[in-house]
Structures are given as C-alpha cells and as structure tokens.
C-alpha cells in the first residue's frame, strides 16, 4: 500500500497538503532571495502568483529569473511584465497615473466568460451564495473609481 505518491512539487488538495506546500514555497523563496546577487525591492506572493518590483534593469531581471529557475529543475517561475503601462496581478489591473500615482481597477482575463454558477443548476444554495459573496468581497477589497463601472459588469 502506498500513501501519497507525490515525491516533489506543490500539493493540490485538502488543506493540510496546501499548508505544507505553502511552507515549502516560503522556504524555497527565502533561500532563493538570500542567494540572489540582486534582489527585488518587494516580493508579494499569493498562492502561486508573485508580485515583484525590480529596479535593476531588464538584463539583471532575466538573470534573476534564471537564478530562481535554476535552484530546482522541476520548479519554474514565469514572468509577465507590464504592457502598455498596465500590469495585471490576480484580479487587479495596475497602471501608472498622472503625477506618478498608482491606479488600479478590476481585471478580467480576455478569456473570462462572465459565467459563474447558474442558480438553476441544482447546486446547493450555499454554493450559489458563495459565488455572490466572493464577488461582493472582491469589490469591497478593490476600491474602483465609479467611472470604471459604467457599462461593465464583473
């Protein structure tokens, strides 16, 4: 009998496995940052998405990415840089505003269908309520200028 066949990598599944995976990821990141020649100004992670501010130029950023990916052969970081002044991270589109301020608004991937859970789909009412609650929570966390809501929906 075998219990848990995964020998390496991040777990997906019940909460205890996710907690262990988070500890692993945190340790990996701490070691990677400690060994890096150039370090980011900030490093914020949510599950497997990381937001980094880098001030050392593109060439050194590429070397930093190579460093992160070189520590373990089966862990690969990818990088998305800002395009047209915008950088999406999780559900937020960040962009520069006049005067150097940071602007942000709700972000949806181009593939987002705006379909959630059909109330007629024989789901338990708590599941339907959870979808609505998560959208309300998103709006309460990301304060968006009212102009961004005109003619749009989440």
- pLDDT tens digits for 140-153? 776 655 555 554 54
98 and 64 within one domain: no
Over the stretch 95-141, which tens digit does the pLDDT of each residue have?
A: 888 888 888 888 888 888 877 777 778 888 888 888 888 878 777 77
144 and 120 within one domain: yes
58 and 20 within one domain: yes
CA distance 41 to 9: 27
Q: Is 54 inside a domain boundary?
A: yes
Burial of residue 69 (CB within 10 Å: 0-12, 13-18, 19+) is middle
Domain that holds residue 113: 86-149
Q: Looking at the predicted structure, is the pLDDT value of residue 31 above 90?
A: yes
Q: How many domains does the chain have?
A: 2
145 and 90 within one domain: yes
Mean local confidence (pLDDT), 8-18: 63
Residue 2 or 5, more confident? 5
Q: Looking at the predicted structure, is the pLDDT value of residue 43 above 50?
A: yes
49 and 96 within one domain: no
Per-chain mean pLDDT for the chain: 81
97 and 61 within one domain: no
């Amino acid at each position: 009998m075998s219990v848990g066949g995964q020998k390496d990598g991040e777990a997906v599944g019940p909460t205890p496995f996710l907690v262990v995976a988070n500890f692993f990821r945190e340790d990996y990141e701490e070691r990677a940052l400690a060994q890096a020649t150039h370090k980011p100004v900030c490093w914020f992670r949510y599950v497997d998405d990381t937001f980094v501010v880098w001030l050392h130029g593109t060439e050194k950023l590429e070397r930093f990415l190579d460093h992160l990916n070189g520590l373990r052969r089966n862990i690969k970081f990818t990088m998305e840089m800002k395009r047209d002044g915008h950088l999406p991270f999780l559900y937020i589109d960040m962009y520069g505003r006049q005067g150097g301020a940071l602007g942000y608004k709700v972000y949806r991937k181009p593939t987002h269908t705006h379909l959630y859970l059909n109330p007629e789909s024989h789901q338990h009412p708590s599941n339907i309520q959870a979808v609505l609650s998560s959208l309300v929570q998103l709006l309460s966390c990301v304060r968006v200028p009212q102009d961004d809501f005109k003619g749009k929906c989440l």
